[in-house]
Structures are given as structure tokens and as C-alpha cells.
Structure 1
Amino acid sequence: MKNYLKISAEDNVAVALENMNAGEVIDRAVMSITIKETIPVKHKFALQDFDKNDTIVMYGVPVGKVVKPIAKGELISTENIIHVAASYAYKEKAYKNPLVKIENLEEKTFLGYHRTDGQVGTGNYWIFVPMVFCQNRNLKVLREAFEAELGYKKENPYKLQLRKLVSGESEEVFIEDVESKSEKVFENIDGIKFLTHEGGCGGTRDDAQALVNLLSGYIKNPNVAGATVLSLGCQHAQISLIQEALDRHFKTDKEVLYFEQQQYSSENEMLVSAVNQTYKALKAANEISRKPAPLSKLSIGLECGGSDGFSGITANPLIGLVADKINALGGRSILSEFPELCGVEQDLIDRSPNKDVAGKFIDLMERYNKKAHEVGSGFDMNPSPGNIKDGLITDAIKSAGAATKGGRSAIADVLDYAEYATKPGLNLLCTPGNDVESTTGLAGSGANMILFSTGLGTPTGNPICPVIKIASNSMLPAKMKDIIDFDAGRLISEGLPQEALADELIDLIIEIASGKKKTCADRLGQDDFIPWKRGVSL
């Protein structure tokens, strides 16, 4: 197998698939290249001589500008290139969806919870929603009660470890060996989740409305059976706002219970009422059970975090292929993280169905980037130190690889943050690149499953939506086996075909969607929830 990869025919750099040493010779059909210096695995090296101001091309698009001469066979680094991205504009253009193999998937089903609006959940959760951070303490009290008494609370493994140490024992406690303290009272309720946050008051009214829309999306999400809403009463995010949102934009007939503290004579009175009414609602929610559903009922969020130089070669294209297959079956995929679409705008515009959809994408991208520049930042500052260390040295390099998670499907719709996805096919959702703010937004826009690629390792999860962690390299699952669900790095390490890996990943999706297997994030109790306040978060 080759120790390097040229991703697209137009590219003038290649990726090292293993560490390369000075003096190594690469024989190509049209030329021979001698490696001039150490090229770390996942990093890029020049396939030609570059002068200052030349353009670096990867994935067939501009990803960098040369700031000092680079010889053929030398390392591409932050010392010799800076970020550059191609210009873009709407041009009316017909686009056809890719032909993908789905014959083996058309009869496959998963066991899900069928909702009256036609959506199907991969889980059945009851959620507690605070309208304002003042209620976080009340949610903490209720969480301790509901989880302990209804069989959802596990013994803290580190508490057990300390207990053993105090008693003089040395045996280690492993989290997978720790069971719930008691049996579940409600067999068909997968969990009770508490969405604490720091918003609802003190910000702008637009912030409050965005939070209300996000929480409404969580209530409408097919993985949710119903909700208990707690309010103080005087904050910007009023109960009336969420009731209006649920009535107009997030229509649902699910049971939603409202409790406003300033209408009660005491905190205790409100919480007792919340316990009594929620318990009654849980009994009703437990009546639903899993039934077969076609894969067209999947709404898959597409996410990456802790990316490396292999993410855009293995895990992200694999996710893109799976998304194309689900879309071809009539399902839905949602691609988020707008800062990580910088440089590939033209391709996404060309795949848009009309000028209005393309225009909305352009407007959201440009307003977001402008706001970042106003505070001395910009999309070009998106790559993290970990990204750069592992070969993603400009935002355009990162973006060109990140965008492959969206596959090659036509764009069905473009959504602003906290808008709900309703159209089958590929949807673009404006979120930050921040892992948790983005996954929080994906679930709020209706994703009932999230595929999350990582090259460096991240434990991110979500309270209501299974997050399948997909490694870009085979070293990661060996090193961090407790957070990785699937090894896409086998494309390189074992030479497995992408089509075979896609079939294997879809089988895993079906298992998890059917409740037969938990994701690593779920087993770790990784219930990450951070609403995006429309400030600058990349």
C-alpha cells in the first residue's frame, strides 16, 4: 500500500499515510519526488515547487496561500502557508443526486417509537426543561429524585473506588461493571433527562427567543415523549413564548407540563406538583413500545470534533456515503458547523435547488463570518491547536475534509440555528464548530441519531440523541476504546473498501436505533447540552 495519498487529481500536495523520512523517493507516473525533510503522518508535502503567493490545492479546491518558497518534497506547515478560500457566487446550475447502492437497505428496518406526526424516535425520553438558569437548582433536586427512585441512577464508580480504598481494598472499579441501583419502573422509557443551561434571562430578547426555539425543537424531537417545563416567571424566556413556538413552528401533540414558581406559595409546593403530574405523564408515555420502521425514518446529524489529518480521508467520507444512502432511501441528513464549510461554499451553492436556498446559505455564512471579524476573529481562526498538530493547518484544509460528511447529495434546505428540519435529503444547519453547541443544535433540529467523526478523541454526547463516535484512524480506538464506537481508520490500516465499512456502520446504526446497543457516550452518561448564544463561537 502507498505511504501517501493524493486526494483529488487537481491537488498539488499529498497526505502522508505514515511517517516519511528525508531521502525517501516517491516514484510517480509523471515524476519522481525525493522527500526533503521528515513528514509526520497525516501532514502534507509539496508535489511541486511553490513560489510566494502560489495557491495550495487539496480536495480540488484552494486551501492555502504560500508565504515563502516551498520545494517539491518539503513539509507544508503554518510557517510557509496561510489560509485562503475560493470566492463564490450563485449560478443557476442543475445538479443530480449521486447514484449509491441501496438495494440491500430497502427492506431493512429499525425498532423505533412511532409518533403521531409521522416521526420515529430511536429513543423514548422524558425531558425536564428550565426556561431560565434560576431553575437549575430545582432540576438538580428533581433529577436526584427521579433517577434514584425510577431506576435510572447508577452507582458512581469513583465513589465505589474510594470506598474500596478506605476499606483497604486495591481492586479497580470499571464503569461498565456498575449497574443501576434499582430496576427501571418504566420499561419503555429510555431515560429522564434534565436540560440545565445558563440562559433565559440577562441576555437579549433575541437570545431568549433562540433558546425557546431550541427547547421547542427538543420537545418536538421524535426521541422525546413529553416534557416538564419549569419557569421562575419574570425572565425574558416566558412560558408563553414556548407555548407559542410549539403551537406555530414546532407543532406537536405531546404532553407538556408547565410550572411557574412565582405562581406557587413555596418552592416545595411547585416541586411536589411537578413530581405528581410528571409521574402520571410517565405512566402514559410508557404505553408506547418499539415497532419496525424503515430507514427513511432516520434523521442523521453529521458532526466532527477533535479532527485530524485522516478525518477527511476516512471517517468523514464514510459518514458522507452513509448519509447519501439514507437520503436516497427518503431519509434526512443534517450537516452543521458553518465555520467548517469555509472554502467549499461554491460546491454547496451549486448543489442547492434554487436561488432562495443558496442565498440563505450565503447570507448566514457571511453574517456569521462578519460578526467574527468584528471581534477580531474569523473563520480562518477555526483550527484548534490539536487540529494543527495533526495536519489541519488552515481552516480551508479542515473545511474541505469536514464537508465530506455531507456526501454528494443535493441540498434540500438551509436552516438557521434552532430551525427544525422537515425536508428529506441533505439539510445545512448553521451552528458553530464547537462540538457541544453544534450537537445541541442538531438534536434541536430533529436529528434522531448523530454520526460524529473524531481523529483525536472526544467524549461528546447528547441527552436525547445517540451519538456514534467514529474514529478516523485505527490508533485511536486502541488508545481510547471507551469513547469510540466504530473504526473507520481500517480503510487505511486494513485496506477495507469504503462500501463494506458503510454497510457495517449502517448495521451498527440499526442496532443503536433499535435500542439493542448503547453508544459509548450513553454508557458514560455524556449528556452534553450547551445552547449557542449568537455570539462568536467557532
Structure 2
Amino acid sequence: MQKKLIKVHPSDNVAVALVNLAAGEIVSFENNSITIVSDVKAKHKISLTKFNEGDRIIMYGVLVGKANCIIEKGDVLTINNVKHESEKVYKKTGNIGWSTPNVEKWKEKTFLGYHREDGQVGTENVWLFFPLVFCENRNIEILKDIFEKELLKQKENPHQLLLRSLINNGQEEATKSNNSADFFDNIDVKFITHPGGCGGIRQDSEALAKLLAGYVNNPNVAGATVLSLGCQNLQIDIFKNALNAINPNSTKPVLIFEQQQMGTVDQMLSAIVKDSFEAIKKANNIKRQPAPLSKLNVGLECGGSDGFSGISANPTLGYTSDLLVALKGTAILSEFPELCGVEQELVNRCVNEASANKFLALMKAFEKSVVDAGSGFDMNPSPGNIKDGLITDAMKSAGAAKKGGTSPVVDVLDYGEYITKSGLNLLCTPGNDVESTTAMVGSGATIVLFTTGLGTPTGNPITPVIKVSSNTELANKMSDIIDIDTGAVIRGEKTIEEMAEEMLNFIIDVASGKIQTKAKKLNQNDFIPWKRGVSL
């Protein structure tokens, strides 16, 4: 008989409905009978005891809210009878031990990656085009049209004909045929645009420089073509300094073109097409080679979460993260607004006081900026989250944090900082799906695991995004965007550990180029930098 309720942590005083429950229905749970007071949809929470006004509501073993009126035993929790509340954290109070998972069967496994001269290993081989300032977005779009149409054997503009002529060694019949696939069988060409680089405060341009430098340094990128206008805040030197700060010994080819120094648009585009084509041809010669799993950098993301996300998909990511960390790999947990309420656990998992203090300082500064803007972390759950049972930020956060598993936190990074230590890293980003994913890739993620309960198509230009559903209904309904379904955990057919092992095998295949993610098949290339400041 299918279970109707589940309690996530032994100390919880609420349970999650696994199926729809009707008012008046009597449910047997933990050797007690509970009479359902109101209709409860699957994924929503019911009280396991009577709450008086002000009583603490505990889920995942932490405070996730307080009752703002009397809630009878067996009644559903809603935004009307519960308000957001989380524990206040001031300092590191101890250390949390870690039970390292057994990874013997994984130690000799490898993936087929792209080895870079600095020792990093990529899961993709991408030549990246991007602007330093939004004024160059149009030229990026023109170049995208030129290269993508040629690679996809479509038609036609003068610069495209130029590229085709180069491909065909200047022969006239180049205008009639397309053999470019012969040149680009081992490299992807991607393009990103953005609304930044000028007009805001200088700190925003500096942050954008760090992010773009991180994309260039990411081992999934073979090289880049960079467009500058010339007069913008994000000067070429600022970008070069940011790249040098991340990797002073980088030998990656980076082609930079400044429009105000080059004359007409046609002159500039002709130079870009010629020089980039030659560089891409060279990058196409790089081949996949075996690499240990310790070379994987995995970003952990959730978006469009539902009431099952913190029970199936997120804990599966958590155990997968633990497996990778045990194998000396790297995991990145971001979305700081969605860590509200679990700070104490994360602080106590930090390997040193400096990291713990940096985490708390970043959290407090972030929350203050939100409050100063007239909002608060309690406004984080979206209408879709609330509709599917995530009614407070602390409740959403407690489930979201499960993506980080139980391993020690080896480092805490501010937005734009690049990973330097293997193990679990915390990265300060917003909770916004694309902003957070964008940031993790800029910090070095070569694979992103992305859980969702409601469905979201998010992808990334340079890093594979593996979409993980929390429930089978979603996986069936939106099969074109979901790569892995963890609904079997909800049904009790598989354990978290079993799902995580399947996921690790899937990651290895994606990292080796044997499986293409759904987001990549859909050409979903999302890129949104985080703008912290105001516009001037």
C-alpha cells in the first residue's frame, strides 16, 4: 500500500503529503491516527500536532516558520496560517563530522575530457564569442548569424560567404556548397550577450569582468573572441586584469577587437571572421582524453522547485555531491537566499573560522541589501513554489540546501571568484535560476546538476546542464527538458543512494560526450549576470 505521509527528519512536527488527501480522511502514521482537517494536495504539509499562535514549525530538523494562528492537528499549512521564521546565527559553534561514502568502485573510473595546459579538464570544447559592453550585442548577433547559419548549412550574407570561402580555400563554388562540418566536428561555437559593461556603477562592470574572465578560464572553453566598443566602463584592461587575477599563466587564445579603433562595422566583422576562423580551426584539433573523476567541477542548482524537491531530487544531488567530493572532485552550492535558516549547519561544516565568518558576512550583507530595497528573503518563494507547498523561504531553503550533501565546506566564494579548492564550495549568488547557474559556470563549473519539480528549460552556453525532476509526472509531461527522474524515491522504489549512483554514471557519460543533455539539444543557452548595484 502506498505511503500517504512522510516525515523528513525525526524532530519534525509536520509531514509531507505524498498523495492528495481529503478532509475527514483518517491516515495511519507512526502508530497514530490522524484525521485530515482540510483537503490537502500532494506535496503540501500537514501539522502532526496542534499549533498555537507563535509555536515553532520544524521541518528538515530546523525552524522553517511560526504559526500565526491556531492550527489543528491534521490541518494543512498555508501562507495564511504560517509565517516565515528562521534561526539567527552569529558564529561557528562547533564542527560537524562527515561519514565519507564508500567510493571504491568509482576510484578507477574516468571520463573523456578536454585537457587544458593549466591542468584543468573540460567536459566541452567551446569557442566563445562575447561583448564587454551591451553596445556590441548587435555585432555579436551578426556573428552568431554568420557562424551558426554556416555551420547549420543555411543562408546567406556577405560575411557568411567570406567564411564559406575561407572554408573552401577561396574556390568560387564555395557559394554553392557547404563543407564546414568537416572543420567543426570537434568544437562548438557559442555566443553570449548581456546588458552590462557601462551605465551602472563601476563595481558592476568590475564584477562583470570577473564573470566573463571566469568563462574564458573555464576548461570547457578553448578560446574566445571578445568585442569592445572602446569608451565603456568595462575597459579591455579591466577584463585582462580580471583574467590575469584568476590565471596569470593562462595561454588560452583570446582575440579582442575594439570597434572605435577599427573603422567601419564591415571592416571589423571581416577581421573578426578571418581571425576567429583560424583560431577555431586550431581549437578543433583538441581531442577528448581520459581524466580522473577528481577533475569534475559540478554546480548544484534548483529551480521551479516543488514540495517533493527537498525529498527526492535535492537529496539525490546531495549524495552525488558527497560521492564526488570523496573522489577529490569539486561541488559548488550557491543561491544564498535559499540557504536562509540552515546557516548554522553550513557554518559548522566550514573547515575553518575564516570561511565561516566570510559566509556569515556575505549572507548578512546580501540580506541587508534586500531589506534596504524594501523586500526580504521571506519574499523568495515564487507563486509556483507556494502553489506546490513551499510556503516560507526557510522551508524552501531547508530543502534546497540538501543539494549540498553533508561534506565539509572547504571554501566560501563571493560572486565572480573562481574555485581553487577541491571539495564543497559555497558561492554567493541570487536565488534566480539563470543568474545562479551563470555564476557557477563563471566560477569553474564544468557540469551543472539542476533539480526542478515544476519544470524549467534552463541551459548554459558552455556547460552541460543536467535537468533532474523531483517527480515522475513532470518527467513524463515535460520529457523534452528532463534528463533524470527521481520520482522512484517518492514511490519508495529506489533509495537516495541508488539514485545518486545512477546520476554519477549519467554525469560521466555527459562529461565524456556520450550523452547530450536535453538543454543542449534544445540549444538553450541562458546567460544573465547579477547586477548588484544601481544604474547611474
TM-score, shorter chain, exceeding 0.5? yes
Alignment correspondent of 1:199:
196
Alignment correspondent of 2:531:
533
Does the 8 A contact of 1:122 with 1:448 survive in 2?
A: yes
Q: 1:29, CA displacement in angstroms? A: 4.4
Deviations 1:465-510 (A, max 9, x none): 0000000001001101101000011112352122221121111111
Distance across 1 between alignment mates of 2:99 and 2:146: 51
Q: 1:367, CA displacement in angstroms? A: 0.6
Summarize the alignment of residues 513-528 of structure 1 with structure 2, pairs less than 5 Å apart: 513-528=511-526
Distance across 1 between alignment mates of 2:211 and 2:423: 22
**Pairing 1:437–2:427 present:** no
Distance across 1 between alignment mates of 2:303 and 2:199: 30
Alignment correspondent of 1:313:
311
Does the 8 A contact of 2:101 with 2:326 survive in 1?
A: yes
Summarize the alignment of residues 454-469 of structure 1 with structure 2, pairs less than 5 Å apart: 454-469=452-467
SS of alignment partner, residue 104 of structure 2:
coil
SS of alignment partner, residue 238 of structure 2:
helix
Distance across 2 between alignment mates of 1:74 and 1:106: 49
Aligned AA for 1:194?
F
Aligned AA for 1:480?
M
Alignment correspondent of 2:135:
134
**Pairing 1:72–2:69 present:** no
SS of alignment partner, residue 105 of structure 2:
coil
Distance across 2 between alignment mates of 1:377 and 1:53: 23
Summarize the alignment of residues 234-245 of structure 1 with structure 2, pairs less than 5 Å apart: 234-245=231-242
Distance across 1 between alignment mates of 2:43 and 2:85: 20
Does the 8 A contact of 2:203 with 2:533 survive in 1?
A: no
Alignment correspondent of 1:12:
13
Deviations 1:230-272 (A, max 9, x none): 0000000011111111122333210001100111121111111
Alignment correspondent of 1:47:
48
In terms of mean alpha carbon deviation, does 308-317 or 192-201 score higher? Answer: 192-201
Alignment correspondent of 1:144:
145
Alignment correspondent of 2:94:
93
Summarize the alignment of residues 320-335 of structure 1 with structure 2, pairs less than 5 Å apart: 320-335=318-333
Aligned AA for 1:45?
I
Q: 1:38, CA displacement in angstroms? A: 1.0
Q: 1:92, CA displacement in angstroms? A: 4.8
Q: 1:98, CA displacement in angstroms? A: 2.5
Summarize the alignment of residues 107-506 of structure 1 with structure 2, pairs less than 5 Å apart: 107-151=108-152, 184-187=181-184, 189-251=186-248, 252-493=250-491, 495-506=493-504
SS of alignment partner, residue 136 of structure 1:
helix
Does the 8 A contact of 1:343 with 1:396 survive in 2?
A: yes
Percent of aligned positions with the same letter in both sequences?
56
Does the 8 A contact of 1:351 with 1:411 survive in 2?
A: yes
Does the 8 A contact of 2:184 with 2:281 survive in 1?
A: no
Aligned residue pairs: how many? 511
Does the 8 A contact of 1:151 with 1:182 survive in 2?
A: no
Distance across 1 between alignment mates of 2:155 and 2:528: 24
Deviations 1:40-85 (A, max 9, x none): 1000000001100001000000001110000100111111110000
Distance across 1 between alignment mates of 2:99 and 2:187: 37
Does the 8 A contact of 1:217 with 1:250 survive in 2?
A: no
Summarize the alignment of residues 20-59 of structure 1 with structure 2, pairs less than 5 Å apart: 20-29=21-30, 31-59=32-60
Alignment correspondent of 1:176:
none
Which 5+ residue runs of structure 1 have no aligned equivalent? 156-180
Q: 1:359, CA displacement in angstroms? A: 0.7
Normalising by the residue count of structure 1, what TM-score does the alignment of the two structures yield? Answer: 0.93
Distance across 2 between alignment mates of 1:294 and 1:529: 29
Distance across 2 between alignment mates of 1:202 and 1:366: 27
Does the 8 A contact of 1:152 with 1:191 survive in 2?
A: no
SS of alignment partner, residue 189 of structure 2:
strand
Aligned AA for 1:344?
V
Deviations 1:401-423 (A, max 9, x none): 00000000100100111110111
Does the 8 A contact of 1:125 with 1:189 survive in 2?
A: no
Q: 1:25, CA displacement in angstroms? A: 2.1
Distance across 1 between alignment mates of 2:225 and 2:506: 32
Q: 1:150, CA displacement in angstroms? A: 3.4
Does the 8 A contact of 1:228 with 1:257 survive in 2?
A: yes
Does the 8 A contact of 1:323 with 1:333 survive in 2?
A: yes
Deviations 1:170-192 (A, max 9, x none): xxxxxxxxxxx976233454311
Q: RMSD of the alignment, in Å?
A: 1.6
SS of alignment partner, residue 470 of structure 1:
strand
Does the 8 A contact of 2:464 with 2:517 survive in 1?
A: yes
> How has the CA–CA distance of structure 1 residues 204 and 29 changed in structure 2, closer, same or farther, with 3 Å as cutoff?
closer
Which 5+ residue runs of structure 2 have no aligned equivalent? 157-177
Distance across 2 between alignment mates of 1:490 and 1:60: 24
Distance across 1 between alignment mates of 2:395 and 2:131: 40
Does the 8 A contact of 2:187 with 2:284 survive in 1?
A: no
Distance across 2 between alignment mates of 1:440 and 1:91: 30
Distance across 1 between alignment mates of 2:195 and 2:360: 30
